Amino acid sequence: MIRAIAIVIVLLLNIQMPVYGAQAKPLEDIRAPIENGIALLKDPQYAVASKRDEQREKIWEIIQDIFDFRIISMMALAREWKTFNAKQQKDFTEAFTELLKTNYLNKIQGQFHDEKVIFLGEDLLTEKKAVVRSKILRQDTEIPMDYKVVFSHGKWRIYDINIEGISLIKNYRTQFKNILAKESPDALIERIRETTREEKKNGKPNA
Amino acid sequence: MEPNRHIGWFWVMITLAGLFFVITNAPAQEAPQQPQTLSAEDEAFAVAEALEEDEEPIPQIADPLYYLNKGFFHFNDKLYFWGLKPIAEIYRSVLPRPFRTGIRNFYANLKMPIRFVNCLLQGKTDRAGVELGRFMVNTVFGGLGFWNAANLEPNLSEPPDEDLGQTFGSYGIPHGFYLVWPILGPSTLRDTFGRVGDMFIDPVTVMAPDASSYLNAHEQVNRLSLNIGDYDSIKKAAVDPYESFKGIYLQYRAKELKQ
């Protein structure tokens, strides 16, 4: 009898019920959208000028899904965020997101030439913070690119990109910090808008 | 046994079984939930703050020569758009890419002594050995370095570049302050001393002092021809280009120092 109990206890201890992790893996959350984006870029139906805007919109949808622009904006200002009033915070987030969108969509759409993205792996730093490592193969060069991701609102989203050791957020933070040392938040927001306008004027890629 | 005692034990087992299932399925312990009164904004800011805490601080540097540096920055910018970039574009149209990567490899191979000596000065003797090995393989089997034959050998994979500026950094010498040199571009006090020092072990400068400025110019144009557009992109994406390039230079050097 005792033996029967013992056996049952041992069995119970060894049954591994599938424990559903609190979150899916970071790599999976961003890999599929990125690969979809690349497929979109390669899709021959968008090679005509008339379809470029449509392609842009679709790519932007993907980007909005996997990047967390609010966290990105907050981190780009760091401590200065709290010195902005609510309207300025909102304007800044809008302006900065628009800057990133214009600049990087132009670049992605205009300069994509069959690069391949190879995902190398992920490093979970804390429960909510991870790094997804990848490299971009372009002609004969390899460019290491890391995505820093945060788990918020149920999925992993990107909050920083690291290319060859250069962090995008840190780069903008340096610039904004220096501008805010001499100018007001509204002036910074206006400068961001100015940069975006310049880019819109000059940068739109041709088919 | 009497039937009653069977049933008794049976219920004990069920209870035990239930307990075990509950324990093994407890969700991963998370930090206590934030009170629901926090707005989405505050929550996001808390997340952002937490993320920043672990980040490495942005490399800072003094810029006492700000106006001079900025002047040279603008000068270099014009030089790029009106001089270097057009030349590099013509060069690119004339020479097919494999030739240009070959030339890049050739110069990189030639400058091995700089990397070799600095590896030794930093105590990185293994890497120094790899640099030497690569040099021999690439020179003999790679046509004087045009082709990276050494990449075929897994033990000889390319180590990160070392230079005197990094060597000084590894000794704990700080950057000093920011400098923008005309033509040569961004640097720091420490890195400038490093560059000057490296010239004494640079084969190009040592063996062909008269031709060295032409050869170095060629090397730079060749390298630019492989990367035309990078400067333009970074500049366009920047709200303050001067600060952006300063930040990028410092981040890049900090990364190189770590490697």
| Residue B33 scores a pLDDT above 60 | no
Is the whole model's pTM more than 0.90, yes or no? no
Is A166 in Cβ contact with B24 (below 8 Å)?
no
Q: What is the pLDDT of residues B160-194, one digit of tens each?
A: 999 999 999 999 999 999 999 999 999 999 999 99
Furthest CA-CA distance within chain B: 109
Note whether B48 contacts A: Cβ–Cβ < 8 A.
yes
Residue B103: alpha-carbon gap to chain centroid = 22
Q: Which pLDDT band, with edges at 50, 70 and 90, does B202 fall under?
A: very high
- Residue A113 is predicted with a pLDDT of 77
B73-98 average pLDDT score: 96
Note whether B122 contacts A: Cβ–Cβ < 8 A.
no
> pLDDT exceeding 90 applies to what percent of chain A?
37
ipTM over 0.85? The verdict is no
Dihedral, B117, B118, B120, B122 alpha carbons, nearest 10: 170
A12-41 average pLDDT score: 70
pLDDT winner (highest mean) among A30-39, B14-23, B47-56: A30-39
- Residue B249 is predicted with a pLDDT of 96
- Residue B32 is predicted with a pLDDT of 47
How many angstroms separate the CA of residue A36 from the nearest CA in chain B?
A: 24
Residues of B87-126 as b/e, b for ≥16 C-beta within 10 angstroms?
A: ebeebbeeeeeeebbbbbbbbbbbbbbbbbbbbbbbebee
Is A175 in Cβ contact with B243 (below 8 Å)?
yes
> pLDDT exceeding 90 applies to what percent of chain B?
69
Q: What is the pLDDT of residues A151-172, one digit of tens each?
A: 887 889 999 999 988 999 999 9
Of residues A152 and B109, the one with the higher pLDDT is B109
Q: Report the C-alpha gap between B253 and B165 in whole angstroms.
A: 9
**Please, are residues B246 and A173 in contact by the beta-carbon 8 Å criterion?**
no
Identify the three-state secondary structure at position A129.
strand
Angstrom CA distances, B57 to A169, B51, B52, B103, B240, stand at: 12, 12, 9, 38, 20
Is B44 in Cβ contact with A152 (below 8 Å)?
yes
| Residue B28 scores a pLDDT above 80 | no
**A163-177, B38-52, B83-97, B151-165: least confidently modelled range:** B38-52
Residues of B14-35 as b/e, b for ≥16 C-beta within 10 angstroms?
A: eeeeeebeeeeeeeeeeeeeee
| Residue B34 scores a pLDDT above 50 | no
Which residues in A lie closer than 8 A to residue B22 (C-beta atoms)? none
| Residue B31 scores a pLDDT above 50 | no
- Residue A20 is predicted with a pLDDT of 41
Angstrom CA distances, B167 to B130, B155, B195, stand at: 18, 24, 11
Q: Name which of A9, A12, A174 is nearest B58 (Cβ-Cβ).
A: A174
- Residue A41 is predicted with a pLDDT of 85
Q: Report the C-alpha gap between A173 and A160 in whole angstroms.
A: 12
Give the pairing of strands B185-188 and A116-126: unpaired
